[in-house]
Amino acid sequence: MTATALPTRGATAAPAPPRPRRRRRRRERPNVLAGVLSLAWFVLVAVPLYYLVSGSLRTRQDYLSTNPLVPPSDPTLENYRTVFEGGFPTYLLNTVVVTLATVAIVVGLTLPAAYAIARNTGRFVQRGFSLMLVGLAIPAQAAIIPVYLMITQLRMYDTLLAVILPTAAFAMPVALLVMVNSLRDIPGELYEAQTLDGAGPFAVLRHLVLPLAKPAITTVSVFTSLTAWNGFLFPLVLTQSEDTRVLTLGLWDFQGQFGTNVPGLLAAVTLSVVPIFVLYLIGRRYLLSGLTAGFGK
């Protein structure tokens, strides 16, 4: 009993040798294999990212003539200016619009739906839930041709709405799963207390479900934002002109457009990461919960 309780404090259990206290806890030998593997992985992650940022600060001449791992001899922000003078601001704005609209649709539709699923055991609701869960297994690629047909027939081709609607639909099953799991954790007594006070379903949704579902709403919002932000297939197939181009497509386009101007491309890629990186800095926990939405702790 004492043996299991003690080690949480550290290596204080052994009384005999006056060992120097170390920060390391119960482990005696360092885990060499894991440490080496982690360092190797660190190098494999760090080198491309270092190359990305340092390369974006190089002049084209510098890029073509020097070793890519040597720091830039004469760092310049010229590439970033080139990117900003191109279509980047438009693409960024389009992506922001698509992301916000997708999140609004997904949260706005799945929250009441999850409330119904958590509290209504009727056959229609539960069958509907099962149907949407099947959506977890549908690859978006399989739907792209009919979605293209539908969007052109609806005369929405080459609009941002054409990207928003299918993106939202395909983000919905995961979002719904996360919401339902969260709402099912609300104790039934809380619902009943509200009802005894005379609250109808809508009042319960507003005053009980909405506040208690905030963590789930955050997770869903982050997950949906990332899906929309990184979306590639739907914009690729459903838009065409520069006015409706989103960031991911814009980056790809830069590759062709800049040709040999690789530092310009690297600057564009770096810029595209900045908004998510800021989100990571201010809300790492929320971002990670959104990334693993529905699949992890």
- Whether the CB-CB separation of 191 and 207 falls below 8 Å is answered with no
Q: Where are the alpha helices (DSSP H) in the chain?
A: 2-5, 32-56, 60-65, 78-85, 88-119, 123-134, 140-153, 160-184, 188-196, 201-204, 210-212, 214-230, 233-238, 247-258, 262-282, 284-291
**Position of tokens 């809300």?**
283
- Whether the CB-CB separation of 274 and 261 falls below 8 Å is answered with no
Instruction: Give the residue, chosen from 251, 257, 283, 286, that forms a contact with other proteins under the rule CB under 8 A.
Output: 251
Instruction: Give the residue, chosen from 2, 3, 187, 282, that forms a contact with other proteins under the rule CB under 8 A.
Output: 3
Show the binding pattern over residues 18-57: x = contacts other proteins (CB under 8 A), - = does not.
-----xxxxx-x-x--xx-xx--xx-xxxxxx-xx--x--
Give the interface segment with other proteins, choosing from 74-82, 83-91, 210-218, 280-288 (CB under 8 A): 280-288
- Whether the CB-CB separation of 119 and 200 falls below 8 Å is answered with no
Q: Is 129 in the site for other proteins (CB under 8 A)?
A: yes
Give the interface segment with other proteins, choosing from 73-81, 82-90, 214-222, 224-232 (CB under 8 A): 224-232
Q: Is 228 in the site for other proteins (CB under 8 A)?
A: no
Instruction: Give the residue, chosen from 86, 87, 173, 264, that forms a contact with other proteins under the rule CB under 8 A.
Output: 173
Q: How many CA atoms lie within 13 A of 117 on its CB side?
A: 25
Q: With CA atoms as reference, report the closest residue to 116 among 225, 191, 168, 218.
A: 191
Q: Is 115 in the site for other proteins (CB under 8 A)?
A: yes
Query: In this complex, which beta carbon is closest to other proteins, that of residue 128 or of residue 218?
Result: 128
Q: Is 230 in the site for other proteins (CB under 8 A)?
A: yes
Instruction: Give the residue, chosen from 61, 73, 77, 138, that forms a contact with other proteins under the rule CB under 8 A.
Output: 138
Query: In this complex, which beta carbon is closest to other proteins, that of residue 74 or of residue 285?
Result: 285
- Whether the CB-CB separation of 263 and 60 falls below 8 Å is answered with yes
Q: Is 105 in the site for other proteins (CB under 8 A)?
A: yes
- What one-letter code names the amino acid at 120? N
Residues in contact with 98: Cβ distance below 8 Å, sequence separation at least 6, in sequence order: 160, 163, 164, 167, 228, 231, 235, 246
Show the binding pattern over residues 75-94: x = contacts other proteins (CB under 8 A), - = does not.
--------------------
Q: Supply 57's token pair.
A: 């600060």
Q: Is 201 in the site for other proteins (CB under 8 A)?
A: yes
Q: Is 59 in the site for other proteins (CB under 8 A)?
A: no
Query: In this complex, which beta carbon is closest to other proteins, that of residue 48 or of residue 89?
Result: 48
